Amino acid sequence: MAVSASRPFEGLTVVALEQAVAAPFATSRLADGGARVIKIERPAGDFARGYDDVAKGQASYFVWLNRGKESLVVDLATPAGKETLRALLAQADVVVQNLKPGALDRLGFGPTTLRRTWPRLIVCSISGYGEDGPLASRKAYDLLVQAESGLASITGGPESTARVGISIVDIATGETCYSAILEALIARSVTGHGADIRVSMFDVMADWLTVPLLNHEGGKSPKRLGLAHPSIAPYGVFRTKDGKDLLISIQSDREWAKFAEIFLGQPEVAKDERFATNVMRVRNRPETDAMVAAAFARLDKPEAEAELIRADVAFASVNDMAALSAHPHLRRVTVGSPAGPVSFPAPAPIFVGEERRYGPVPAIGEHGPLRPATSAEKRS
């Protein structure tokens, strides 16, 4: 099959020694792009298959992140299983793995060994805390790293810490791995050499936490503000007269001046030294927010939205999952699964003029014995 903009990985083979979320996220994107992704599962299957049963009796995480893959059950503790894996690796372009720390090395397939045996192979290994250091051997899951990295300390309201409502560490790690693999594929097309990529969940989250960390180290340690921005005001939720919540964002002093004139009906506050600049509005946040809240309390939601549009202010409704399910901007894809078609949000990239196809979710071991790649599938 010819390579296209929407399926640039046609002919690439990916061996996925994966479970849970982070690695499956990365390989799902490779599968979306046309790669043949061979998912190695233990006889009981990826444990993410049992996380819940809301997608026609199947786990939502598994359905979301394993579309378009082949499932091959391999017992890596046996000589036959190791031989099967060795045969798979011999035809692979990319290996992605997030097994327990050191597990692949103990099986004789550590990244260094793989790269020495197959120099063109791109190996991406995911860990919790990296290859060395006091926590290197520790198991790591999304919420644990949210806590360990400090993310939970800046999430939630003033009364307590909270988890981000999705598996943000896993997803961020999967995206990071995906982008690193793409870089390695580009480099290999030039140099002919593969890569040994190591990504730790902690490193990913620390990178994403750069701004709050620098604020802390600069003497302005961030506080938990719920749905408010720690360094911009007004940027938060306000309630209308009819009890509806709207979140607004004022990004500049120019926007503030227009908002003050049109929405607040108080053009003079744009020149008041307590509110004229964002730094001062943040410093005087209680007074700033009280002024804005009073204006919202005079208007029903449709009236408030009309005035916000007239003032050219960015705003959003504070929705829940029911609202997302019916949202006019929600794009969906439908994929096959062992229990029938499942619909869920479409991946964000749109390739104009080229419709992207999404493969079905596999049953455990559905693709049975090893099928070698065909000449059309395998390219250098």
pLDDT of 305-320, one tens digit each? 999 999 999 999 999 8
Is residue 216 flagged as an active site residue?
Answer: no
State the pLDDT at residue 379.
Answer: 41
CA distance linking residue 264 with residue 255, whole number of Å:
12
State the pLDDT at residue 158.
Answer: 87
Q: Tell me the average pLDDT across 134-163.
A: 91
Phi then psi for 344, rounded to 5 degrees? -155, 175
| Residues 136, 201 contacting (CB under 8 angstroms) | no
pLDDT of 258-267, one tens digit each? 999 999 999 9
State the pLDDT at residue 2.
Answer: 63
Least confident of 19-23, 75-79, 287-291, 299-303: 75-79
* Whether residue 346 has pLDDT greater than 80: yes
Burial of 180: CB neighbours in 10 Å, binned 0-12, 13-18, 19+:
middle
Q: Strand 94-97 and strand 13-17: pairing?
A: parallel
| Residues 205, 167 contacting (CB under 8 angstroms) | no
* Whether residue 377 has pLDDT greater than 70: no
State the pLDDT at residue 159.
Answer: 87
State the pLDDT at residue 23.
Answer: 96
CA distance linking residue 239 with residue 236, whole number of Å:
10
Residues sharing a CB contact under 8 Å with residue 224, sequence separation 6 or more, in sequence order: 153, 154, 155, 156, 157, 158, 161, 162
Q: Tell me the average pLDDT across 327-355.
A: 91
CA distance linking residue 320 with residue 338, whole number of Å:
29
State the pLDDT at residue 373.
Answer: 47
Split at pLDDT 50, 70, 90, the class of 341 is very high
| Residues 361, 340 contacting (CB under 8 angstroms) | no
CA 362 to chain centre: 22
Q: Does an H or E element contain 227, and which?
A: none
Q: Tell me the average pLDDT across 84-106.
A: 92
State the pLDDT at residue 238.
Answer: 96
Q: Tell me the average pLDDT across 127-132.
A: 92
* Whether residue 376 has pLDDT greater than 60: no
Beta strands (DSSP E) in the chain are: 13-17, 36-41, 69-73, 94-97, 122-127, 195-200, 235-239, 245-249, 314-317, 332-335, 342-345
Q: Tell me the average pLDDT across 172-180.
A: 97
Question: Can you read off the two tokens belonging to residue 346?
Answer: 């479409």
pLDDT of 99-116, one tens digit each? 888 888 899 999 999 999
Split at pLDDT 50, 70, 90, the class of 72 is very high
Please identify which of the residues 229, 327, 329, 367 carries the catalytic annotation: 229
pLDDT of 195-235, one tens digit each? 999 999 999 999 999 999 999 999 989 888 888 888 899 99
State the pLDDT at residue 157.
Answer: 87
Q: Tell me the average pLDDT across 146-175.
A: 93
* Number of helices followed by number of strands (H, E) in the chain: 14, 11
CA distance linking residue 55 with residue 208, whole number of Å:
31
| pTM score | 0.86
* Whether residue 1 has pLDDT greater than 60: no
State the pLDDT at residue 369.
Answer: 54
Q: Tell me the average pLDDT across 249-253.
A: 94
pLDDT of 11-31, one tens digit each? 999 999 999 999 999 999 999
Least confident of 5-9, 132-136, 275-279, 296-300: 5-9
Least confident of 94-103, 130-139, 313-322, 365-374: 365-374
Mean pLDDT estimate for the chain: 91
* Whether residue 304 has pLDDT greater than 70: yes
Q: Which amino acid is at 57?
A: G
